[in-house]
Structure formats: C-alpha cells, structure tokens
C-alpha cells in the first residue's frame, strides 16, 4: 500500500461561514440580505451560529481539520496559544473536542479552533450532514415560505426618511428593550440630523425620540439610575 492509499477520503466539505450564512440569511450572497439594521442581521447570525454549533457538539454534523500539537512560542493563556506544523493530512475531529474548544474568529466566521494542547486549522464541515440537519432552516428563507405573506412583504419594502432616521438612531444608540436612552439625548441627536436637506425641527425630533422608545419609557418607566448613568457627569 502506497502513501496515497493511506490518505483518508472525505465526502464533500464546506466552511462553517457558508453554512451559517445559509441558515441565517438563506444565501451567502450579501447583496440579497435584507435587514433594517446591523443589529437585526447580527442577531440572525448569532442564532444561526448557535444552531450549527449545537449540531456539531452532539456529533450530528461531522467536522474535519488538520491537527497540530506543536506550540509556536509561549502564551499566557491556552486560548491564545498559537500552533505550527499542522498535519498535511485532514482528519475527523472528535465531537468532544468542541465542548472545551476556543474558536479563532475572523471576518468569515472561523476555520481554526484549539483546546489546551491541541489545535485544528482549515476546519471544514461535512456538507451532507449540514443538508440533512439544516434543510428546514434554509428552506424557511425560500420563496415558498413567503407565499402566504405577499402583501406584508411588499409593504415591508416601503419606508420614509423619518422611518430610516429612526432605524439609524436605533443602531447608533444600540436601543433595545434593556437599553432605553433618555429622551433628551435622543432629541438632541435627531436635531443634528437632516431630512431632505433640512435640519430636523425640535417638534419632529420630539416625536421621533418618543417613537424609538418603548411605551413604558415614554410614560416615565425609565429607571432613575439608568437616567443618571446616561447623563454626562460634571466635575
């Protein structure tokens, strides 16, 4: 038996990032992603990442990579330890590895993960496993899922400069159910913006500041300590 015969063969493989994109957005083509805000997009990706990782952890989706146990210089924490001379031969990764692994993130998800004393790089997932266990999540983004909501989807494309400006404020202040900025701060921000080349008036800013907050905050539900924390401190 020669060396070539000893190299294991694998089914078709795919990167984690591409799987996450299909689950989160229905496509890996960023031009087709449609979100009101970056926060909304990030949340979809967080949910997709958690779903894919849960299937990796229980072994439903098999993973592969090239392993090394040779450390590249010292590191204070094993999570930051780099490795070198990874195997040239790809191997399956034991699901138990992922229960304690730290992943090295990049702009395309991750392709490297390590535990204390071992690292895998060039991490790829078995495509057939992804299709088997994630088909429903991907199909939920398909055109068939929108047939019953045609009117709603058509209406969702409509917007106005005022709505767009409110979404900008939500992104700028990271507004959420747990983070409700005080109204005065929002009013001042809106007054510095422009709509159709004109500065936003105080009256309009007051309305917009109210509408980006929850009703309970508009009625005085914002806690005093939250208000004080958001106000500039004068020495």
Q: Would you say residue 146 lies in a domain?
A: no
In this structure, are 125 and 165 located in the same domain?
no
What does the DSSP 8-state code read for residue 66? Answer: E
The single-letter DSSP state of residue 193 is: S
CB neighbour list of residue 90: distance below 8 Å, 6 or more residues apart: 8, 10, 64, 65, 66, 122, 124
Instruction: Give a yes or no: residue 215 inside a domain.
Output: yes
Inter-CA distances, 15 with 121, 143, 146, 205, Å: 12, 25, 28, 46
95 lies in a domain? yes
pLDDT-derived band at 31, boundaries 50, 70, 90: confident
Residues 110 and 205 in one domain: no
pTM for the predicted model, two decimal places: 0.58
For 134-148, write each residue's pLDDT tens digit.
998 888 886 655 444
Between 220 and 112, whose confidence is greater?
112
- CA dist 2 to 7, 11, 163, 170, 191, Å? 9, 21, 67, 62, 74
Establish if 12 belongs to a structural domain: yes
Q: Which domain holds residue 11?
A: 3-130
At residue 215 the predicted structure's pLDDT band, cuts being 50, 70 and 90, is confident
Q: Domains in the chain: how many in total?
A: 2
65 plus 166 within the same structural domain: no
Q: Do 32 and 77 sit in the same domain of this protein?
A: yes
Q: Do the domain assignments include residue 183?
A: yes
Q: What is the mean pLDDT of the chain?
A: 82
In this structure, is residue 59 part of a structural domain?
yes
């Amino acid at each position: 038996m020669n060396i070539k015969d000893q190299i294991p063969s694998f089914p078709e493989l795919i990167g984690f990032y591409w799987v996450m994109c299909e689950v989160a957005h229905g496509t890996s083509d960023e031009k087709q992603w449609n979100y009101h805000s970056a926060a909304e997009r990030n949340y979809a990706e967080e949910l997709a990442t958690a779903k894919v990782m849960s299937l990796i952890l229980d072994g439903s989706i098999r993973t592969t990579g090239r392993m090394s146990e040779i450390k590249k210089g010292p590191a204070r924490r094993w999570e930051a330890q780099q490795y070198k001379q990874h195997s040239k031969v790809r191997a399956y990764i034991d699901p138990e590895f992922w229960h304690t692994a730290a992943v090295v993130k990049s702009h395309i998800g991750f392709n490297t993960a390590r535990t204390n004393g071992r690292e895998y790089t060039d991490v790829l997932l078995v495509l057939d496993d992804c299709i088997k266990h994630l088909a429903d999540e991907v199909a939920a983004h398909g055109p068939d899922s929108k047939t019953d909501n045609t009117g709603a989807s058509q209406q969702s494309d409509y917007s106005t400069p005022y709505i767009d400006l409110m979404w900008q404020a939500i992104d700028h202040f990271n507004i959420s159910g747990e983070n409700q900025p005080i109204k005065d701060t929002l009013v001042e921000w809106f007054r510095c913006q422009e709509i159709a080349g004109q500065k936003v008036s105080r009256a309009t800013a007051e309305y917009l500041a109210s509408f980006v907050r929850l009703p309970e905050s508009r009625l005085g539900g914002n806690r005093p300590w939250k208000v004080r924390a958001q106000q500039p401190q004068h020495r």
